[in-house]
Amino acid sequence: MPTEITEKLGELPAEEFQQLLDGWIADNAGVLRAYEPDESLSVEQVTAFPRRYQNLLYDAGWLRAGWPAEIGGTGGSAERRAQVYESLSAAGYALPETLPTLEVLIPALLSYAPELAIRYSPAFLRGDELWCQGFSETEAGSDLAAMRTRAKRDGDGWVITGHKVWNSYASVSDRCVLLARTGEQSGRHRTISAFLVDMDTPGVQARPITTMTGRNELSEIYFDSVAIPADRLIGQENQGWAFAMFLMQWERGMYAWMRQAWCLHQLEMLRPYITDARFERDFGAAYGRVTALRMVARRTLRRLAEGDFVGPETSVDKLLLSSSEQAVLNLARDVLRGRFELDDSPDMHRWRGDYFYTRSSSIYGGAAEIQRDIVAQRVLGLPRARG
């Protein structure tokens, strides 16, 4: 595609953008097939794989559309990015594993720390770097405001001490967006700050956690008196909770959009196996859940693209996301029974890996029980249950 068109992709009308994108996907089918994920490989072995895939999409201009020019984008709204993710998934191509984290972190960084975003996120967007989130802790559980990792001022910088867990791809990441306490523990969400930490900083150690799939997708991270410059603070001191809540919108908006597109493709792959009438009802029920997720995620994305703060309503997206993923993979388990458990072919290995991964979808990013409470109390206005 000519450079003059690539540089204007983000600003093109939706229909023209879609036509160019569909043509590019069709013309590059062979290249894209080379980036199909291999679930038999470890995270360490495939680290370079999604980065090269991201490089390809960036160089072609598709990953630049929908991002501001300050970080290497070609303008336009988040809806352009959603078109790219939808079209690749619909054509049967997996998205780079690096993109969900990128879609969560960069919008929040652009809003709360534009100087840091301009300086560091271009490499993340190109695929030259991989970042992770450092939020969850063992003692805090689903109560993020109870975190104990601390950051103390030390001259012109900060010193971070603590422990994080369930961090996706932390063992192979270059940087970490971290939440740490910068005031009294009793302050809960009012004394939390956000930081951008280089993973090769002395005192940072990521230890992989092997999941049921056999891959080290998750890690725990130890921070042993880690010294970072003062300018790595994201936003203002004690503004970390607001940063995290802003970030959650994108985790439950754009990520939900990515996953509904993925779910729809999984259902299309299962359709030829639905030869027994007893599975037709389950197929329809799963399709209905994914369609509901698609409609809600579409609404959330449009509001985010317009600059709205969506807030607690995104808990609906999260609940629909986890129930949709699990419904689709439960269907796969039942329809493919026998082969699903015993066949070691690449296809069955992938189905099993996806099944195990979706078991956690009702926990990661906010447990389903917590999301139901948020919807009940903060969206529907129902009274708290008395126990």
Q: Which residues form the catalytic set?
A: 251
Dist. CA 260–CA 89, nearest whole Å? 9
**Closest of 234, 226, 167 to residue 198, by C-alpha:** 226
Three-state secondary structure of the chain: CCHHHHCCHHHCCHHHHHHHHHHHHHHCHHHHHCCCCCCCCCHHHHCHHHHHHHHHHHHCCCCCCCCCHHHCCCCCCHHHHHHHHHHHHHCCCCCCCCHHHHHHHHHHHHHHCHHHHHHHHHHHHHCCCCEEEECCCCCCCCCHHHCCCEEEEECCEEEEEEEEEEEECHHHCCEEEEEEECCCHHHHHHHEEEEEEECCCCCEEEEEECCCCCCCCEEEEEEEEEEEEHHHEECCCCCHHHHHHHHHHHHHHHHHHHHHHHHHHHHHHHHHHCCCHHHHHHHHHHHHHHHHHHHHHHHHHHHHHCCCCCHHHHHHHHHHHHHHHHHHHHHHHHHCCCHHHHCCCHHHHHHHHHHHHHHCCCCCCCCHHHHHHHHHHHHCCCCCCCC
Q: Which two tokens stand for residue 227?
A: 């010294």
**Closest of 353, 307, 362 to residue 329, by C-alpha:** 353
CA atoms within 13 A on the CB side of 219: 21
From first CA to last CA, the distance across the chain in angstroms is 63
